[in-house]
Chains A and B, each alone.
Chain A
């Protein structure tokens, strides 16, 4: 028997897409029955009350969650987000309902053993509700009370060998695509780099010292499955510098119709016979390909590695061998100063595990030094860049200026020359000037 009537939410139980309402209801039942005899450490009926408060929001058209509040575990400033309901009398089970962010494993692979351990912990000490996963990538545990926080952290670190993620003005939990684990396009080991950088910067992840949030994201190739170029302050995207590897026999397979183009991604509609000229050659953004006499040729020097030809003929074309990554900085969503895409800072860097990714970390640390010194409160790196100029970031990162960093050179000639750029510097003598030019 449901604790609260939820006529509006009940309408979200129909329709084909998995219903979160049905799912929460089954959690309510499970906790009410409590077949395993668990001594729930927070109110057993909290999922019921969550449905209740959500129904109220559906009626009111407004949220009923209060603003933050400072809660956390000892010594950390991030990883837990305080959350309180503004109708605690009506919904006591969710009066205190904090979020815990748990650092997800790179690529989000799991064993059922580990997932079940997480479930047991969260059933016992939390609401039993999660996000798999939050938008930044963390495992998100939704809803617990303050006395449980240290206990949850103790369990996570002692028994599950894992840690909290980031929240607040600090390094957010780094996220990566699946990389080399199951993708033929990965130009570097995104998971290894993500894991290493996460551990290297634990202090920044757990103890807020930044002007605002800072996100690392790692994409293995320009397809960008983890969206790093759009939503991370520091985005590492795999690329290569040499030639695309061509298997002419497989090219013929595509042309002849034996192999489905685009790995079969268009199989749901009859688009007609595969036309290599129309579908590959003519769509190449740098027009660096040709197909003559049954042979595909690529002028690799002119290739901009957009991935289209490789995506379209994955059995015939493969990424090059001289692999590394490009680094982009400053992407963010609109708050505060409008949306920004990541800007290219380093066209190519080797992703070298042997020297513990020193080249990449040097760039990160140079930028952090500048941003922590100059960044205003709640200013993302992208906004600091806009305010101070990209040149300052390039200098702080200690990387060379490069024509690849711009779409086009500047259209205004208001160049901020420095005194050292000019012969004789800026120190001049007005009386000396007056000797030559009378008033």
Chain B
């Protein structure tokens, strides 16, 4: 493996250097029919799950076939996607904000042929490569984070929990039979690299044990004031400690004040908190981003903890399925999951979803907590 240079010369880093050019201009990549009708679209229709038609003022129509992707993709797989685009869509494609892949074609027949083709492609292990769906009143692809694949702070895996969940709700990806769209999102720790806090159903990795303190190395690895300032509850203070006759500058944690956010670990690698038994998943529901009918809303925690059960997280997926089924059976047309819960009342939500309510579900974090307690005699038995 000889080192091959592209032309960068470390002795003269500024020579021929190009910086700050930004991304490629999006118009370099638009399919001709999209470019031609840019900003002049009249309306759209979902012809069948995963197949959309957009009509332009010019009378042009573009047919889009949408398929799911795992987000974590290899170049071999991306090249296969390119092969599909070359064969069917004149070498153009796009990714959606929820990691679906879209191919745009100019005839309905070709789109339906492509749908058939995509649904026939399988990995050696047996799963679909490009399942078509993810439109309308159904479950679309799950946005997620890195998890154990590539992140240093996760409380659970991301790709695995998502694969396990999508397998369980797969029929809802290929159908449009729910009362409204259901957006499931996944974040592997509270940092939430995504919009998990505003999703119909959110899978969230959480820690439950306070950080361990690596006293001997902390002062070499971290800025003590930053570690102290990192704690949102003021649970960390600087201290000195003697180990084997040697004095160390370090920090102490008031453990009863810790709410396991992991922010201290992000600032100070000498304060790890991940743990096999301590870590797991909280499920949140009822969030949304759209302004449609009701306002955007935060997700609410309805299951405070489910242990990590790799590789398939069966308890977690069973609860998600239970919530989805109860919603599907009971909600009105157009009613998002959170709007359904608000209408029937959260006390009834727990009953209908067969979920246990516990002390961990009553907010006790700062001001926002107060606004979630009930101040009315209007409640249900």
Contacts and interface: CB of A to CB of B under 8 A. Distances in A.
Interface of A: 8-27, 30, 39-41, 43-44, 47, 50, 54, 57-58, 60-68, 74-76, 83, 97, 99, 103-116, 118-120, 122-123, 128-137, 142-143, 147, 150-151, 153-155, 157-158, 160-163, 175, 177-178, 180-184, 186, 189, 191, 195, 198-199, 202-203, 206, 222-227, 229-231, 260, 262-269, 271, 279, 283, 285, 305-308, 311-312, 314-315, 318, 333-339, 341, 376-378
A130 B71 CA distance: 8
18 contacts: A17-B128, A20-B163, A23-B123, A30-B76, A58-B148, A63-B152, A65-B150, A112-B92, A177-B97, A225-B97, A227-B97, A227-B289, A230-B197, A308-B293, A312-B334, A315-B42, A333-B196, A334-B190
Given A15-B127, A17-B127, A269 B177 contact: yes
Given A26-B77, A265-B46, A307-B290, 4 more contacts: A67-B152, A180-B38, A181-B30, A335-B192
Contacts of B131: 16-18
Contact of B274 (A62, A177, A195): A62
B44 A263 contact: yes
Given A181-B30, A230-B195, A264 B293 contact: no
A31 B82 CA distance: 19
Contact of B19 (A41, A75, A160): A75
B152 A66 contact: yes
Contacts of A57: 148, 157
Contacts of B112: none
Interface in B149-172: 149-154, 157, 159-160, 162-164, 166-167, 170
B270 to A, nearest CB: 9
Contacts of A265: 46, 135-137, 176, 181
Nearest to A269: B177
B26 to A, nearest CB: 4
Contacts of A40: 1
B6 to A, nearest CB: 5
Contacts of A224: 289-291, 296
Interface of B: 1-8, 10, 13, 16-26, 28-31, 34, 38-39, 41-49, 54, 62, 64, 68-79, 81-82, 85-86, 91-97, 99, 104, 123-131, 135-138, 143-154, 157, 159-160, 162-164, 166-167, 170, 173, 175-178, 181, 187, 190-198, 226, 229-230, 232, 261, 263, 265, 267, 269, 274-277, 279, 287, 289-294, 296, 298, 308, 310-312, 333-334, 365-366, 368
A93 to B, nearest CB: 12
B176 A268 contact: yes
A21 B124 CA distance: 11
Contact of A306 (B7, B86, B265, B293): B293
Contact of A206 (B5, B19, B135, B197): B19
A158 B42 contact: no
A112 B127 contact: no
A106 B71 CA distance: 18
Contact of A132 (B30, B71, B159, B269): B71
Given A123-B75, A162-B21, A229-B289, A14 B232 contact: no
Given A129-B74, A135-B194, A336-B263, A50 B292 contact: no
